[in-house]
């Protein structure tokens, strides 16, 4: 590994005095602390080098690792110098090796007295005075003094200010993610005032695009996505949280509130709707519902993810290292990790997300319109209830004389013959239901026939006239098994209000897995009946152990394999199919009292179970009214329509409610789950129980009666905290200058990089705090600095001296981020639809990307592209499927959003060139840019000027113009010769092609548009 970090980069001036934090700490971390660090479990030779006391203590061997001022007496120095392989440090098998420069540093450090300092980032930043500089005219604000002081120390000079067109394009991209229009450039060029630039910055900071742009960076940190991220990777509804982030930046919500509301918005007193939405931050982690997954394991994973994300985003600490053991480099013990974890392991969301769009807890967000409709429905329902009450009051009910008990000889009541019972719904499994006529029909005109290799059936339920089996009755059906293709098993299943829980099985009792053998859920009727003849199958109703009054409203004729004919089914009954309860309240009460399960409401059930003498008057009325309204046959014609009316209203309400936008939020359990140290990080290996707390190296946490996420959030933004302001401001710096003052934006610990400008970082951190966490103020400071406004042109000497531009002797220049590249193309072509917020959209994407990975039943296994304006929204609103993120964004280093990301890589690959040249989105944008060029002027030269200016903000040079003209002429010639090719090119994209334009000409300008969109200058902020 290349060691950059604390060591001066090649070409930087080597300081004479060794500084522990700058020069030594990282060196020790990288090479020594794995065995001589905070992890007590792995410590060798009793030597601990991260603490002064440890390093100066006498070793087990009686030697001293370090004797300050005496390298010759220090075994550390001896061991790194020795050529004896056994003694040499670091040991060969570690794969670590010190360079001569590093060895020299360590030796000099010991010689200079081996000074120790606590790790810099754990010390509260003090506001340093702006340093004195020689070039007094240069600094525009204190930021510049720090930058210039360092440059002067390095013997470098700042660059000139960038020209105004470069500058306005740079700052417009940086503050809004979009380029300036030519009119905006003109206005800036025409404004000679020294305040002109500040005015531009003010305008941009107020633009609603500012929030959209800033939100994008934060959404990487927050790991925002539109799917769950694991296994099925179904859609989840988090976008209201995304819109909250946009709005938070546009409202310039102070960063401390920004922090508190996201980590603990749900716990704020009288939390507003917005604050609860913000708490969705904690729900952005990936989640699963994979069959077989173990709840406890995932509770732990989610808790760890939330803890790590919080720690990386605000503390800049890699606490994840302490999941399995004490942190090897930073003073964070495993216990302290689980104390932090304990803040996040007691939210009410379930381990299994159910693959649902809205796994609880969620917040529903009805629009005003929807709320109005709900109120209307809520008012309508009582109206119908009143009408029902009036009808009930009108009935003069008298108990009828009992009918004589049935004594008839049993007879068949045929239910299925040539048709299914009236009112029933048919749901076959396997092939469609098939009736056959002909000689092999048992009775009537036709019989059912079904062939299948596996499980198949004809199923109906919901018959208007159900069967009411009595104890002596028998259910029957006739079957004919095909002798050449007999089934393995046949089954008769019955449907009641309790569902499909009654089955009779003939043949192989294992072939069909449903039910428990030998119980009414699977009566074992023995062998298959004889094949080749019609056989009547009968089952005694008593065997099904129906409770009294049970109604059978459906049957299933089920088989496993083979060919089976089914015919004439029903019930053999002596009692007729009259149910006395349909006319007699008393009969119903008796049935109801004996029933184990019932559809009647609880209070009715309770009343019925009371002895009639003990019932209170209101209970008597309750029973009567329930019976008359729901059971009593003579009045069904009155009540059925009223009930339907009410059911319809409730259904409407429920559908409406389901259509509400909603978003995942945090919600805390009443009683926290226990938290434990997990041995080796294993979810089921509990060690000691721990309580919520923060690492002891950091300021103490103010605890209350309940210490929760809100206390944690307030602790993060307390003025004593050494990390939050530094870590946060560093990310903003990184956004504008390409690299943070601390390059390792997510690691401010011992293994993180020493800041390039420590005093500047502290000044910015204190300024952030003093400003009341005013993000806009801080951003203004950065982009109005002379540092930011420098030209980015560079000499080879400076490239060699400072390839990554860490010293900032020139302005920032780097490739635009994925979203900016696409948004720019949409903007300059005039296609961009600037509509804020809402459900994420699915613009063009090559076919097969989701399909290649998606679980076949996932609701994101098939990509269905949107149309119309959804194709042209800012990339922020693109639907983010986390197991297959949008390719036109990930190709340009956008992260998958499965995990937090504080710093995107910035690569340059041929695949990127293919996107901007060939992706239909870019080809369509090129066509529209070409259309704009043609529409701008009749003269080709001025058209090219205009196009060039739209994408780069400046006019082309003579040379550039010549190259463009030459290319244009080639394309004109080509497409005039080949009109067919022109038509094909223009067919790309769904936006209309202007009919007025000459097609070959437009095709040529489309290619010019494409050329302009692919210029290096277009793809960069310059």
Partner 1 sequence: MNPIHERLQQISRRHFFKSTGLAAGRIALAGMMLPELAQAAAKIKPGLRSHPALPGLPHFAPKAKRLIYLFMNGGPSQMDLLDYKPSLSKIYDTDLPESIRNGQRLTTMTSGQTRFPIAPSKYNFKQYGKSGAWFSELLPHTAKVADDIAVIRSVHTEAINHDPAVTFIQTGNQIPGKPSLGSWLSYGLGSECDNLPAFVVMTPSWTAKRDAQALYQRLWEAGFLPTKHAGVSLRSKGDSVLYLNNPPGVSPDGRRDMLDALAKINAAEYQRIGDPEINTRIAQYEMAFRMQTSVPDLTSIKNESKATLDLYGPEVVIPGTFAHSALMARRLAERGVRCIELFHREWDHHGDLQRDLPLQCRDVDQACYGLITDLKNRGMLDETLVVWGGEFGRTVYCQGALSRESYGRDHHPRCFTMWMAGGGIKGGTVYGETDDFSYNIVKDPVHIRDLNATILHCLGINHSQLTYKFQGLDQRLTGVEEANPVQGILV
The backbone torsions φ and ψ at residue 534, rounded to the nearest 5 degrees and listed phi first, read -75, 130
Q: Which of 354, 360, 907, 937 binds partner 1 (CB under 8 A)?
A: 907
Q: Which is nearer to partner 1, 646 or 884 (CB)?
A: 884
Considering the complex, what minimum distance in angstroms separates the CB of residue 908 from partner 1? 5
Q: Which of 59, 651, 689, 913 binds partner 1 (CB under 8 A)?
A: 913
Q: Which is nearer to partner 1, 517 or 621 (CB)?
A: 517
Considering the complex, what minimum distance in angstroms separates the CB of residue 340 from partner 1? 16
Query: Is 917 an interacting residue with respect to partner 1 (CB under 8 A)?
Result: yes
Query: Is 61 an interacting residue with respect to partner 1 (CB under 8 A)?
Result: no
Span interacting with partner 1, options 83-91, 577-585, 586-594, 908-916, rule CB under 8 A: 908-916
* Binding track, positions 71-110, relative to partner 1; x by CB under 8 A: ------------------------x---------------
Strand, coil or helix: what is 842? Answer: coil
Q: Which is nearer to partner 1, 899 or 976 (CB)?
A: 899
CA angle centred on 77, ends 71 and 82, rounded to 5°:
130
Query: Is 299 an interacting residue with respect to partner 1 (CB under 8 A)?
Result: no
CA 167, 172, 174, 178 torsion: positive or negative? negative
Q: Which of 176, 247, 288, 468 binds partner 1 (CB under 8 A)?
A: 288
Query: Is 771 an interacting residue with respect to partner 1 (CB under 8 A)?
Result: no
Q: Which is nearer to partner 1, 600 or 1008 (CB)?
A: 1008
Q: Which is nearer to partner 1, 329 or 420 (CB)?
A: 329
Span interacting with partner 1, options 138-146, 535-543, 652-660, 891-899, rule CB under 8 A: 891-899
* Binding track, positions 933-972, relative to partner 1; x by CB under 8 A: ------------------------x-xx--xx-xx--xx-
Span interacting with partner 1, options 239-247, 609-617, 723-731, 898-906, rule CB under 8 A: 898-906
Span interacting with partner 1, options 267-275, 461-469, 699-707, 904-912, rule CB under 8 A: 904-912
Q: Which is nearer to partner 1, 393 or 852 (CB)?
A: 852
Residue 51: is it exposed, middle or buried by C-beta count within 10 angstroms (0-12/13-18/19+)? middle
Which 171-230 residues touch partner 1, going by CB under 8 A? 229-230
Task: Tell me the β-bridge partners of 489.
Answer: 507, 560
Query: Is 456 an interacting residue with respect to partner 1 (CB under 8 A)?
Result: no
Query: Is 27 an interacting residue with respect to partner 1 (CB under 8 A)?
Result: no
Beta strands 675-678; 686-690: pairing state? antiparallel
Strand, coil or helix: what is 618? Answer: helix
Considering the complex, what minimum distance in angstroms separates the CB of residue 796 from partner 1? 5
| Packing angle, helices 368-394 and 636-659, rounded to 10 | 170
* Binding track, positions 727-746, relative to partner 1; x by CB under 8 A: -----------------x-x
Rounded Cα distance between 359 and 446, Å, is: 49
Task: Please tell me what DSSP assigns to residue 131.
Answer: P
Q: Which is nearer to partner 1, 413 or 855 (CB)?
A: 855
Q: Which is nearer to partner 1, 302 or 476 (CB)?
A: 302
Q: Which is nearer to partner 1, 138 or 892 (CB)?
A: 892
Rounded Cα distance between 486 and 531, Å, is: 7
Considering the complex, what minimum distance in angstroms separates the CB of residue 427 from partner 1? 21
Q: Which is nearer to partner 1, 97 or 597 (CB)?
A: 97
Q: Tokens for 600, please give them.
A: 């009647």
Query: Is 923 an interacting residue with respect to partner 1 (CB under 8 A)?
Result: yes
CA 168 to chain centre: 35
Query: Is 307 an interacting residue with respect to partner 1 (CB under 8 A)?
Result: no
Residue 58: is it exposed, middle or buried by C-beta count within 10 angstroms (0-12/13-18/19+)? exposed
Query: Is 324 an interacting residue with respect to partner 1 (CB under 8 A)?
Result: yes
Q: Which of 39, 50, 226, 233 binds partner 1 (CB under 8 A)?
A: 233
Query: Is 7 an interacting residue with respect to partner 1 (CB under 8 A)?
Result: no
Cβ 361 vs Cβ 280: under 8 Å: no
Locus of tokens 């702006």: 130
228 conformational bin, left if phi > 0, alpha if psi -120 to 50, beta if neither? alpha
Q: Which is nearer to partner 1, 577 or 912 (CB)?
A: 912
Query: Is 119 an interacting residue with respect to partner 1 (CB under 8 A)?
Result: no
Considering the complex, what minimum distance in angstroms separates the CB of residue 989 from partner 1? 10
Q: Tokens for 478, please give them.
A: 């006739």
Query: Is 986 an interacting residue with respect to partner 1 (CB under 8 A)?
Result: yes
Span interacting with partner 1, options 44-52, 212-220, 626-634, 796-804, rule CB under 8 A: 796-804
Give the N- to C-terminal CA distance of the chain in Å, as an integer. Answer: 31
CA 964 to chain centre: 44
- Helix H, strand E, coil C: the string for 725-736 is HHHHHHHHHHHH
Q: Which of 23, 592, 668, 747 binds partner 1 (CB under 8 A)?
A: 747
- Helix H, strand E, coil C: the string for 581-593 is HHCCHHHHHHHHH
Rounded Cα distance between 847 and 865, Å, is: 9
Q: Which of 910, 938, 995, 996 binds partner 1 (CB under 8 A)?
A: 910
Q: Which is nearer to partner 1, 260 or 457 (CB)?
A: 457
45 conformational bin, left if phi > 0, alpha if psi -120 to 50, beta if neither? left
Rounded Cα distance between 403 and 501, Å, is: 32
Cβ 609 vs Cβ 619: under 8 Å: no
* Binding track, positions 857-876, relative to partner 1; x by CB under 8 A: xx------------------
* Binding track, positions 487-526, relative to partner 1; x by CB under 8 A: -----------------------xxxx-------------
Rounded Cα distance between 834 and 827, Å, is: 9
Query: Is 848 an interacting residue with respect to partner 1 (CB under 8 A)?
Result: yes
Which 327-386 residues touch partner 1, going by CB under 8 A? 329-330
Rounded Cα distance between 812 and 793, Å, is: 9
Q: Tokens for 515, please give them.
A: 């039910």
How many residues in total does the chain contain? 1022
* Binding track, positions 138-167, relative to partner 1; x by CB under 8 A: ------------------------------
Count of residues of this chain found to bind partner 1 when the rule CB under 8 A is applied: 112
Query: Is 920 an interacting residue with respect to partner 1 (CB under 8 A)?
Result: yes
Task: Please tell me what DSSP assigns to residue 314.
Answer: I
Within 13 A of 733's CA, how many CA atoms are on the CB side?
29
Cβ 317 vs Cβ 747: under 8 Å: yes
Task: Please tell me what DSSP assigns to residue 480.
Answer: E
Q: Tokens for 57, please give them.
A: 């203590």
Considering the complex, what minimum distance in angstroms separates the CB of residue 905 from partner 1? 5
Which 637-696 residues touch partner 1, going by CB under 8 A? none
Rounded Cα distance between 191 and 201, Å, is: 14
Query: Is 847 an interacting residue with respect to partner 1 (CB under 8 A)?
Result: yes
Query: Residues with Cβ < 8 Å from 807, sequence gap 6 or more?
Result: 12, 147, 150, 151, 154, 156, 756
Cβ 241 vs Cβ 664: under 8 Å: yes
Query: Is 1003 an interacting residue with respect to partner 1 (CB under 8 A)?
Result: yes
Query: Is 235 an interacting residue with respect to partner 1 (CB under 8 A)?
Result: no
Span interacting with partner 1, options 185-193, 661-669, 717-725, 842-850, rule CB under 8 A: 842-850
Which 29-48 residues touch partner 1, going by CB under 8 A? 30
Q: Tokens for 747, please give them.
A: 């690691």
Rounded Cα distance between 499 and 847, Å, is: 42
Considering the complex, what minimum distance in angstroms separates the CB of residue 749 from partner 1? 6
């Amino acid at each position: 590994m290349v060691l950059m970090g604390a060591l001066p980069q090649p070409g930087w001036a080597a300081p004479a005095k060794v500084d522990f934090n700058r020069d030594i700490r990282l060196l020790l971390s990288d090479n020594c602390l794995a065995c001589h660090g905070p992890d007590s479990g792995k410590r060798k030779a009793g030597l601990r080098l991260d603490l002064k006391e440890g390093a100066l203590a006498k070793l087990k061997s009686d030697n001293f690792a370090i004797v300050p001022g005496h390298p010759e007496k220090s075994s550390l120095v001896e061991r790194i110098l020795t050529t004896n392989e056994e003694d040499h440090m670091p040991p060969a098998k570690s794969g670590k090796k010190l360079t001569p420069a590093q060895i020299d540093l360590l030796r000099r450090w010991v010689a200079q007295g081996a000074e120790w300092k606590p790790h810099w980032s754990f010390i509260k930043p003090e506001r340093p005075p702006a340093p004195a500089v020689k070039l007094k005219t240069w600094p525009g604000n204190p930021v510049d003094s720090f930058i210039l002081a360092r440059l002067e120390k390095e013997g470098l000079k700042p660059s000139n200010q960038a020209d105004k067109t470069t500058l306005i394009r740079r700052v417009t991209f940086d503050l809004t993610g979009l380029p300036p229009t030519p009119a905006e450039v003109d206005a800036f060029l025409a404004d000679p005032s020294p305040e002109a630039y500040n005015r531009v910055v003010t305008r941009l900071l107020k633009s609603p695009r500012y929030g959209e742009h800033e939100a994008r960076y934060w959404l990487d940190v927050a790991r925002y996505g539109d799917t769950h991220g694991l296994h099925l990777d179904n859609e989840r509804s988090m976008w209201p949280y995304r819109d909250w982030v946009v709005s938070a930046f546009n409202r310039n919500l102070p960063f401390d509130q920004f922090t508190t509301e996201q980590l603990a918005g749900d716990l704020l007193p009288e939390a507003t709707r917005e604050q609860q939405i913000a708490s969705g931050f904690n729900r952005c982690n990936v989640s699963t519902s994979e069959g077989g997954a173990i709840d406890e394991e995932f509770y732990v994973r989610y808790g760890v993810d939330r803890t790590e994300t919080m720690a990386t985003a605000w503390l800049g600490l890699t606490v994840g290292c302490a999941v399995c053991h004490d942190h090897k480099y930073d003073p964070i013990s495993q216990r302290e990790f689980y104390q932090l974890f304990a803040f996040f392991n007691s939210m009410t969301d379930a381990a299994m997300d159910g693959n649902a769009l809205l796994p609880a807890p969620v917040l529903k967000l009805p629009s005003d319109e929807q709320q109005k409709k709900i109120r209307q429905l809520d008012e309508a329902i009582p109206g119908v209830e009143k009408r029902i009450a009036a009808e009930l009051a009108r009935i003069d009910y008298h108990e009828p004389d009992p009918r004589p008990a049935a004594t008839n000889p049993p007879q068949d009541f045929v239910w299925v013959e040539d048709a299914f019972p009236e009112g029933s719904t048919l749901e076959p499994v396997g092939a469609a239901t098939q009736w056959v006529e002909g000689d092999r029909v048992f009775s009537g005109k036709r019989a059912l026939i079904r062939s299948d290799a596996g499980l198949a059936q004809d199923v109906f339920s919901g018959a208007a006239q159900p069967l009411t089996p009595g104890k002596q009755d028998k259910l029957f059906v006739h079957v004919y098994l095909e002798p050449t293709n007999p089934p393995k098993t046949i089954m008769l299943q019955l449907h009641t209000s309790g569902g499909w829980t009654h089955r009779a099985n003939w043949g192989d009792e294992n072939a069909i897995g449903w039910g428990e053998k030998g119980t009414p859920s699977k009566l074992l009727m023995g062998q298959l009946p004889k094949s080749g003849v019609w056989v009547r199958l009968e089952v005694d109703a008593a065997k099904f152990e129906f409770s009294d009054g049970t109604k059978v409203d459906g049957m299933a004729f089920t088989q496993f394999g083979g060919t089976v004919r089914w015919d004439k089914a029903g019930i053999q009954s002596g009692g007729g199919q009259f149910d006395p309860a349909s006319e007699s309240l008393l009969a119903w009460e008796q049935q109801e009292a004996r029933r184990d399960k019932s559809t009647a409401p609880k209070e009715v059930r309770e009343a019925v179970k009371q002895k009639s003498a003990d019932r209170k008057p209101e209970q008597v009325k309750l029973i009567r009214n329930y019976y008359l309204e729901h059971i009593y046959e003579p009045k069904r014609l009155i009540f059925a329509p009223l009930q339907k009316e009410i059911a319809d209203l409730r259904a409407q309400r429920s559908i409406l409610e389901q259509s509400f936008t909603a978003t995942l939020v945090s919600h805390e359990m009443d009683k926290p789950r226990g938290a434990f140290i997990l041995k080796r990080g294993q979810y089921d290996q509990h060690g000691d129980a721990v309580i919520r707390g923060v690492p002891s190296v950091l300021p103490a946490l103010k605890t209350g009666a309940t210490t929760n996420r809100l206390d944690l959030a307030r602790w993060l933004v307390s003025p004593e905290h050494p990390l939050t302001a530094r870590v946060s401001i560093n990310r903003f710096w990184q956004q504008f200058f390409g690299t943070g003052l601390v390059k390792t934006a997510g690691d401010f610990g011992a293994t993180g990089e020493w800041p390039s400008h420590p005093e500047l970082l502290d000044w910015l951190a204190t300024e952030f705090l003093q400003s009341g966490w005013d993000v806009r103020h801080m951003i203004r400071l950065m982009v109005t600095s002379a540092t930011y406004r420098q030209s980015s042109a560079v000499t080879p000497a400076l490239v060699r001296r400072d390839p990554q531009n860490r010293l900032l002797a020139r302005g920032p220049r780097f490739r635009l981020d994925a979203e900016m590249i696409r948004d720019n193309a949409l903007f300059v072509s005039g296609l961009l639809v600037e509509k804020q917020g809402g459900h994420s959209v699915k613009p063009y994407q090559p076919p097969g990307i989701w399909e290649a990975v998606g679980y076949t039943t996932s609701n994101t296994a098939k990509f269905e592209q949107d149309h119309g304006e959804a194709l042209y929204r800012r990339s922020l609103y693109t639907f983010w499927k986390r197991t297959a993120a949008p390719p036109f964004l990930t190709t340009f280093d956008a992260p998958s959003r499965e995990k937090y990301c504080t710093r995107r890589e910035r690569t340059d690959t041929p695949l990127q060139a293919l996107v901007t040249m060939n992706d239909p989105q870019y080809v369509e944008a090129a066509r529209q840019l070409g259309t704009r060029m043609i529409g701008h002027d009749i003269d080709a030269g001025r058209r090219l000027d205009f196009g060039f200016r739209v994408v780069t903000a400046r006019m082309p040079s003579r040379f550039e113009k010549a190259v463009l003209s030459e290319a244009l002429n080639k394309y004109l010639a080509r497409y005039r010769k080949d009109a067919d090719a022109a038509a094909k090119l223009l067919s790309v994209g769904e936006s209309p092609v202007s009919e007025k334009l000459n097609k070959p000409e437009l095709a040529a300008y489309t290619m010019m548009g494409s050329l302009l969109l692919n210029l290096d200058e277009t793809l960069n902020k310059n």
